[in-house]
Chains A and B, each alone.
Chain A
Amino acid sequence: MTAAHPTFDDVQVGDQLPPLEIPLDRTLIVAGAVASRDYQDVHHDTEVAREKGSKDIIMNILTTNGFVGRFVTDWAGPDAMIRAIRIRLGAPNYPGDTMTMTGEVTATDDNTSTVTVAVRGANSLGDHVSGTVEVGLP
């Protein structure tokens, strides 16, 4: 669409994606949980989360997936086709922290015009999420 987004031919293994900093406030964590229809109390009720031994409410997995997808399409653009998001979960995302997302192209497939991006989302405790996204590029 715009010059800001790469086509398949532009991309090489080792390319870095523009980092994305996500300030983790309480509203964002609750909004993500509700937008994904995830009403588990540890994602919105601080008191209950603490009773259950958590420091605070934590981001739910669906929101994490949403940010991973968004992070890749922010770079890949509207013509991109996400084919897979595979993540491994680590340190929880608590309110007040910041998650910094970074990514690097680790493979390209000429036959399907698909690139594999290794994605990492780190907060002050360590990696909240790490994984790969397969995305088809125009």
Chain B
Amino acid sequence: MTAPPPPPADAVDDGLTDEEFHNALQAFVGRQIGPAMDAPDEVNVPMIRHWCEAMGDTNPVYLNAEAAAASTHGELVAPPAMLQAWVMAGINGPSRDTDGPYEQLTNLLATRGFTSVVATNCEQTYDRYLRPGDRLSMVTTITDVSAQKDTALGTGHFITTQQDYVDANGQRVGSMVFRIIRFRPRGTTARRPAPATTRDTNWWFEALAAGEVRVQRCSDCGLLRHPPGPMCPACHSLNFDSVPIEGTGSVHSFVVVHHPQVPGFEYPLPVVLVDVDVAGEVVRPVRMVMNTADTEPDAVVVGAPVRIEVRAAGGQHLAFAIVTDTAGGAS
């Protein structure tokens, strides 16, 4: 028992609810990624030649000055699809901020396991053809971060960026919309499933989201009851309010789940029925089912005192039992 207690099941969780996570992602929309990138070289024939050779492109307007002069272009032009190539950083890669907006966004997505990346769309539009001698500069902006999507690859978020290209006079010559998905591949750790809530139980989960564990109380006879339900089992009244718990309790009973393993939880997984302390006269004991946090599974024994805390877990707020006295532990 000298090892530090394991973290709660959602150790890599960002501590944000789904709504807070969504808002944090949306805060990146509209932000420019790094400073403008200046093309290291002006548009030039040697690079056009390398490109045309690689692509097998024999369009004469790219390399044959005479044919280009006779065409609608009137002079040599660059293949439009080269737009992005002119500002590519080269073999050393982009010298981006390590803590720029894009990296922050990537890190935020990684907290929920969205670490794999695949490019999905690339849309280039050209305002004019580029000519040898043009010198480009490009600015990239994050234009959209999607809601969570389930795709054939896995679950994740699409990130859309837009690159705007200008010439030496500041005139726009083209733009590129680029979309990737950052996703959690299928078969990897899923998140804790959300509780199924109803009109009878919503208020209880809303109180949790506000950081409070409450117990339903019949407004007519005063009986405390849990889990929340529409009718008092004693006097059949439909009227109720609620009272806060004390924040302490003890283990009434428990199981430790080893199998089957449901994605989103860490195993072995104690599931504890807690006798919850509530102020005032309690006619029937108030018991709640919860998982443990900061607690070795074998520290969970019947009668062990617990502290009850509301914590963020998998995009929601839930009550966790923390065993506070492990003296009675089995090991």
Contact = CB atoms under 8 A, between A and B. Distances in A.
- Interface size range on B against A: 35 or more
Contact of A85 (B93, B118, B119, B123): B123
A78 B60 contact: yes
B104 to A, nearest CB: 22
A95 to B, nearest CB: 14
Given A65-B81, A89-B119, A79 B72 contact: yes
Contacts of B47: 35
A36 to B, nearest CB: 4
Find the residue from B51, B60, B90, B93 having the highest chain A CB count within 10 A: B51
B71 A83 contact: no
B309 to A, nearest CB: 40
Interface string B58-74: 11110000011011110
Contacts of A35: 47, 50-51, 53-55, 85
Interface stretch (A68-76, A104-112, A117-125): A68-76
Contact of A78 (B67, B80, B119): B67
A31 B71 CA distance: 28
B126 A82 contact: yes
A87 B71 contact: no
25 contacts: A1-B70, A31-B54, A34-B50, A35-B54, A36-B84, A37-B89, A38-B88, A39-B91, A61-B119, A62-B88, A65-B84, A66-B82, A68-B81, A70-B57, A74-B59, A78-B60, A78-B68, A78-B72, A78-B73, A84-B126, A85-B122, A85-B123, A88-B120, A89-B119, A89-B122
A73 B126 contact: no
Contacts of B80: 69, 82, 85
A61 B90 CA distance: 15
A interface secondary structure, majority:
mixed
A37 B37 CA distance: 15
A78 B59 contact: yes
Interface in B78-113: 79-82, 84-85, 88-91, 93
B55 A1 contact: no
Contacts of B54: 28, 31-32, 34-35, 63, 66
Given A35-B50, A69-B81, A73-B57, A89 B90 contact: no
Contact of B123 (A63, A79, A86): A86
B71 to A, nearest CB: 5
Nearest to B51: A35
Contacts of A74: 58-59
B122 A36 contact: no
Interface of B: 47, 50-51, 53-61, 67-68, 70-73, 79-82, 84-85, 88-91, 93, 118-126, 129
Contacts of B120: 88-89
B81 A66 contact: yes
Contacts of B51: 35-36, 66
Interface string A3-35: 000000000000000000010000010011011
B84 A88 contact: no
Contact of B124 (A22, A39, A86, A88): A86
B130 to A, nearest CB: 12
Nearest to B72: A79
B50 A62 contact: no
B174 to A, nearest CB: 9
A81 B61 CA distance: 11
B267 to A, nearest CB: 27
A81 B77 CA distance: 11
A68 B58 CA distance: 14
Nearest to A86: B123
Contacts of A69: 55, 57, 79-81
Nearest to A28: B54
Nearest to A136: B72
A21 to B, nearest CB: 11
A22 B58 CA distance: 14
Contacts of B60: 78
